Chain A
């Protein structure tokens, strides 16, 4: 980068400068990932009460007893992971399908009321979620009476405005000549969507899928509000239950936290490119 004077000055100066920068970055990186390191490392300790352990920041022991302890806490502990998986998968698929469709319509098809409708959708992004939370809870629990079901966990986030916005932004870059020539060839809008738009939008669909899956997996308050039996809870709610029931069991708590977090780490490291891309889509303009 030419912000730094790479070709001025001598090599040693440049080398020293980069070394100092890397050391500073490494220190900050260590502070950032220390909690995660500490969590995973401590989860392999023995499931004894906190009074009996002294924390150490170095791994001293490798045992899976704390994981067994965590899973033994409730007969539904495996079910929590399954529930999270089911909810996150359904929400992910429906968002990818419906947000891509809506994004295409808003970005490439002329229809009456398009701008007004899109403006109304966007306005929702300005509203803090506390505003909708109480009425949404009343709707699901008192009006629809579907608390403690998968529907209650899934329905409110079937399609999010953010994802529609993401899709629309991305599709703005697809040249409309392609779509016009497809029309001349006799394609209807559905065929255009399936045969042209979807193949060209793979990146944004992947970004959407990953971010939506992660957000749904990690979400805590909504499942916490609408579930009231352990068999319907997600892993995040289960982890919270475990924490409040076993306030002194350090290593098992870390094991639980690791279980709730590690699937996302695996996803992140295998699909890093899409994560990092997803963050910048829609944020940086020009």
Chain B
């Protein structure tokens, strides 16, 4: 016993040094470009940032945020966007994944590839295309389409009543590829014997769905929900590129507000404070989701 561990020790000698060598670059990059910025964000959030000599102003940035009407509006917009996109995306992905199951392997792969395609295209390219789909003139593609249904032309991105919906619609049609693929993989991972046992008991399709599929996919759903909500709270690229947050701040999300504060008004201290508030909100929401939905989910 002692000998064996001796041999092992001799074999493992020098491993530690190799390990540190292997992780050295990763740690340096992490320390410089992730750890340092996080610490720095905390410090900057208590300052009025100026390139030469910032001034410490305590909690002024934070109190400024909570007093700002625009910040609460941005939070509301982000919430509305999240509530409208994430659950719908989950339901669509789930339904599509179920519908794909009885198909042949090649058909499954083809459909998965098609649904994943928008995720491959750059966000800037997609925003450019959607901008034209939402062309407010009667000749615009979407206006032509609703014209066929007898609905008058809309000023999609230009009116505060439809601007948020336009961003949501775009998200419905271009951001489900990943979750479909993950759902299909999870469905394929369910043990056949569950279905066989259920069939012997004479279970119908819906019974199997309710008693086997939904419980088995709960961890996957929770994963997609949590990552979806976290992602959605940070979303602002489409808003930035397509509406710029307008009209009348109807599409200003928190992410966009932070971006504007930092890079339009160059108030770095305030932006840092806003980003930390956002981080706290995301943390709380993720925690709540795990607490209430993750009771019997093991990770």
Using CB atoms and an 8 Å cutoff, list the residues of chain A in contact with chain B: 1-6, 8, 17-18, 21-22, 24-25, 28-29, 31-36, 38-39, 42, 50, 54-55, 57, 98-99, 101-102, 104-106, 109-112, 114, 117, 120-121, 124, 126-139, 142, 155-159, 161, 164, 180, 183-184, 188-190, 193, 214, 217-218, 220-221, 225, 236, 239-240, 243, 250, 253-254, 256-258, 260-261, 264-265, 267-269, 272, 275-276, 279-280, 283-286
Contacts and interface: CB of A to CB of B under 8 A. Distances in A.
Interface in B114-154: 114-118, 120-126, 128-133, 135, 139-141, 144
Contacts of A220: 122-124, 237
Given A29-B115, A193-B22, A134 B271 contact: yes
Interface string B181-213: 110011101101001100100000100110011
A189 B205 contact: no
Given A239-B125, A284-B220, A214 B120 contact: yes
B26 to A, nearest CB: 4
A272 B120 CA distance: 11
Contact of B36 (A2, A135, A161, A164): A135
Interface of B: 11-12, 14-16, 18-20, 22-23, 25-27, 29-30, 32-38, 40-41, 44, 49, 51, 92, 96, 98-103, 107, 109, 111-118, 120-126, 128-133, 135, 139-141, 144, 173-174, 176-178, 181-182, 185-187, 189-190, 192, 195-196, 199, 205, 208-209, 212-213, 219-220, 223, 230, 233-234, 237, 241, 255, 258-259, 262-263, 268, 271-272, 274-276, 278-279, 282-283, 286, 299
A36 B12 contact: no
Given A101-B23, A139-B32, 20 more contacts: A1-B102, A3-B190, A6-B102, A18-B103, A33-B117, A109-B15, A109-B18, A128-B275, A130-B255, A130-B274, A131-B38, A131-B41, A134-B258, A136-B33, A180-B11, A220-B122, A254-B129, A256-B125, A275-B116, A284-B185
